[in-house]
Amino acid sequence: MMFHRKLFFIDVVILASVGLPIACASDGTSDEIEPAPDASVAAPDAMAPDAAPDAEAGTETGPCSPSKLCTVPSAAVEKDVKLTSVWGSSKSDVWAVGSAGTVLHYDGAKWEKADLAGPTPEAGSSYTLRSVWLERPDDVWIADGHGIRHTTGWKGPSATEWSFLSFPTDQCTPTSVRGIGGTVWVGRGLYRGWCPWQLGRFEGWSAADPHTVPAIGAANASIAIAMPRSDEAWASFSWRPPMSEVGHRVLRLSVASGDGGASDAATPAWQTEEYDSRTQRAMPAVWGDEHAVWLAGDGGTLRRLARADMQTKRFEIVPGPVSADLKDLFGFGANDIWAVGDEGTVIHWDGTRWTKLSTPFDDADDKPNLVAVWGSSPEDVWIVGDGTMLHFQGNAP
Amino acid sequence: MSRPGGLSRSLAGWIPAVGALALIALAVAPSACSTSTLSIGEESADAGAPPPLVHVDASQADVRDAPIGACPTSECPAGRATCASNPFPCAVDFLSDDDNCGGCGNACPVLGGRHASTTCVNGTCSLKCDATYFDCNGRMEDGCEVDLAFDNENCGDCGVVCPDLHRCTNRQCVCEVWDSCGACGNVCPPPDPSLPTFPPEWNADYGCVNDLCNQPTCHAGYGDCNNDFAPSGTSGDGCETFTREDPQHCGECGNACAPGEDCWDGQCICRCGSSCFKKLDYDIRNCGACGVACLGVAGGNGEPVCDHGVCDYRCFGSHADCDHDLANGCETNILDDPLNCGGCGIRCDGVEGQACVEGRCTVEECTVR
């Protein structure tokens, strides 16, 4: 396996506006989400100025919905930029990436945009960045065009140092990066041609070539990864017609029973098992924790596999309140899970049912697609999408 | 995903206003319009605004009883009918439906080998010429007999004759003498032997420049990018740059390719075949990165698109992907589907058999008692 790793330094120009916030008008009296007696119906009264909460100190927000989802004009997301992923290590270290080489960083007070333009192709381009993951501020992984971009932390727009792992441009591209601790899984797909591997496990950025899993399908899969535990990852493979009649497969990757990583912590033996998602639809969203693993995707399709039912290897069908395509999942336990999707869709799981939440876009003719969600805590959730960003601050819906 | 078709989006601005008017009318006419009338344009949880309403013939209304309201109906509006060729009620327009032109089953004939077909115009089958063909003699029996793109006697239009030494090409009379200079047929004589010759490495010779014969000029594909080509001098390097492959002078002097791009045949490209830094946002074969192909069913009333570096699927015109399943593309025509009228999930169920016409549920005027 041949890779090319470079370390280089980039002059970064601050492009992001850090202008004055557009505060939400609010009575600030209620932390409750609007009642939703019918889980299948959205609250229609978005953009109600007097229903929006006050922004908390340090966060600049725009118009809010009654569910306390507020736009973030201070992030200065360009309308033509499609943000694809958001992740962070804490409330004051949040990253968002997207098309046209877009990298945004939030330090708890302001968003800034890195201009990755530079003298080499690796330094910057109009490539689409499709995934960002970090657990610590000094270990940030970004799926960037044909490779993986890494930094040891945001040191300000002009001082951030990048290194890059290049894959050949005539091979599949990284679509998802997720990890825990020193173990990071990378999914590669989308390419119309050859794909030497679709799932690779890196034991740290400075480690050698990844441990790879044999490809399970066509190279053009869109691959999403979740890593609920240090000894377990899930990979959701979705194909679009007409390239494959098989629309979806899901794999569980886990440290082989009996190994536990104890015998050789550096290179534990991982095994691969296929589970039944009970759908052929594309499922680009996967997330899990100690309670369950969830999938979400086209047509509002939702699936869950409780830990207690893991031996069945078969996901449970869970009804949802929307028919829009869902794109991402993130949660904070058995009773607090978010999913986002096309046409400004945001839904929330309270442990019993999914409820559609109001957003600031509910009255818009052209609602932006929302494609990623992450939060540092139940009271601090970020959602990104096509030319937009939302911030939730409050009690769990 | 760009689910609704273009029509759906364009309707968004005016649907609420018209729909509101109709619903107001219904609200004040409870007895004339039974409770079922209130469900006109009923939408599912995820649907958009209710559709506006299409009125059938107003002459049916009893004007003695005012005010006049609008009630759902299964009657077709004027010019509309239900025919076997279309599964939806009132979906056929006799004025423009090629399968039902002027009446159910009156299909416009197919013309074979005459560069023409027939189409329904104002309820009558009319001749419709293929692409560049035209019916110059006005005789329907020989169809569209002239190809305006390549006919020397009818070049670009009927009766336009190309002059001597010209041939009609793509609707234009083009000189056939390829090495003409200044005027068609004016071929340059060999260069005067007294003119200085150029070293081979200069990649230069004499040729037609600015309509003048035997002027010093660079060979095709070469350029004097350092501006030292002095035909009468002995210094310099002539036309030193091969502009078909030089990334600093790609295609022409001074046109530098972006970092990472190659110059191939005078074009700046990535190795994947797309302009790395200019087109990856829109190239469906290289969307956001080389080789990332946007996929989707062909012929499904929609097409895959690369939208700012991310693949999407866009429905054509009035079609929409109401079942959110791209395996069958954009399967729904929201112009005439009573279950998706004007938008996905918007149902015409005011009365049994209520139709969807032009994206609107049909109603008729009725009196309020």
Report CB contact under 8 Å: B292, A190: yes
Interchain contact, A173 vs B3, CB within 8 Å: no
**pLDDT reading at B142 higher than 90:** no
Work out the angle at residue A120's Cα, subtended by the Cα atoms of residues A116 and A121, and round it to the nearest 5 degrees.
75
B10 touches chain A (CB under 8 A): no
Q: How far apart are CA A39 and CA A44, in angstroms?
A: 13
CATH number for the A4-393 domain, one of 3.90.1150.180, 2.130.10.10, 3.10.20.30, 1.10.1040.10?
A: 2.130.10.10
CA distance, residue A99 to nearest chain B CA (Å): 6
Decide which of A243 and B353 is more confident.
Answer: B353
Cα–Cα distance between A119 and A374 in angstroms, integer? Answer: 33
* Any B CB within 8 A of A243 CB: yes
Q: Which residue of A has its CA nearest to B12?
A: A365
pLDDT on residue A168: 80
Q: Return the domain boundaries, chain B.
A: 6-78+335-367, 92-189, 199-269
Average pLDDT over residues A257-267: 53
Write out chain B residues lying below 8 Å of A356, CB-based.
Answer: 45
DSSP assignment string, A108-153: SS-EEEE----SSTTT--SPPEEEEEESSTT-EEEEETTEEEEES-
Angstrom distance (rounded) from CA A395 to CA A358: 15
Do residue A240 and residue B296 have CB atoms under 8 angstroms apart? yes
DSSP A222: E
Least confident of A38-42, B224-228, B332-336: A38-42
Q: Is A245's pLDDT higher than 80?
A: no
User: From the list A81, A126, A324, which residue is nearest B46 (CB)?
Assistant: A324
Instruction: Write B45-48 long-range contacts (CB < 8 A, 24+).
Output: B45/A38, B45/A40, B45/A41, B45/A42, B45/A321, B45/A322, B45/A356, B45/B345, B46/A322, B46/A323, B46/A324, B46/B344, B46/B345, B47/B343, B47/B344, B47/B345, B47/B346, B48/B8, B48/B12, B48/B15, B48/B343, B48/B344, B48/B346
**What mean pLDDT value characterizes chain A?**
81
Other C-beta atoms closer than 10 Å to the C-beta of B60 total 12
Pairwise CB contact (< 8 Å): A192 & B298 = no
Picking from B92, B125, B122, B91, the residue whose alpha carbon sits closest to that of residue B108 is B125
The answer to whether the CB atoms of A343 and B281 lie below 8 A apart is: no
Cβ–Cβ < 8 Å for B55, B363:
yes
Note whether A322 contacts B: Cβ–Cβ < 8 A.
Answer: yes
Q: Which residue of A has its CA nearest to B43?
A: A41
Taking CB atoms and an 8 Å cutoff, what residues of chain A touch B3?
342-343
d(CA B85, CA B65): 39
Residues 6+ apart with CB under 8 A from B53: B18, B19, B22, B40, B41, B70, B72, B360, B361, B362, B363
Q: Is A41 on the interface with B (CB under 8 A)?
A: yes
**Side-chain half-sphere exposure of B366, counting CA atoms within 13 A:** 21
Task: Give the pLDDT confidence of A363-372 residue by residue, as tens digits.
Answer: 998 899 999 9
Q: What is the DSSP letter of A369?
A: P
Task: Collect all residues of chain A within an 8 Å Cβ-Cβ radius of residue B301.
Answer: none
Highest-pLDDT range among A193-207, A229-243, B238-252: B238-252
What tens digit of pLDDT does each residue of A76-93 get?
A: 888 889 999 999 999 999
Predicted confidence at residue B233, as pLDDT, reads 58
Contact A173 B280 (CB under 8 A): no
| C-beta separation of A4 from A166 below 8 A | yes
Residue whose token pair is 């978005």: A46
Per-domain residue ranges for chain A?
4-393
Nearest by CB to A40, from B45, B287, B304: name it. B45
Residue of B nearest to A355 (CA): B45
**Nearest alpha-carbon partner for A367 in A355, A383, A353:** A383
- A residues 151-170 near B, CB within 8 Å? 169-170
pLDDT tens figures, B78-135: 888 999 988 889 989 999 999 999 999 999 887 777 888 889 999 998 888 988 999 9
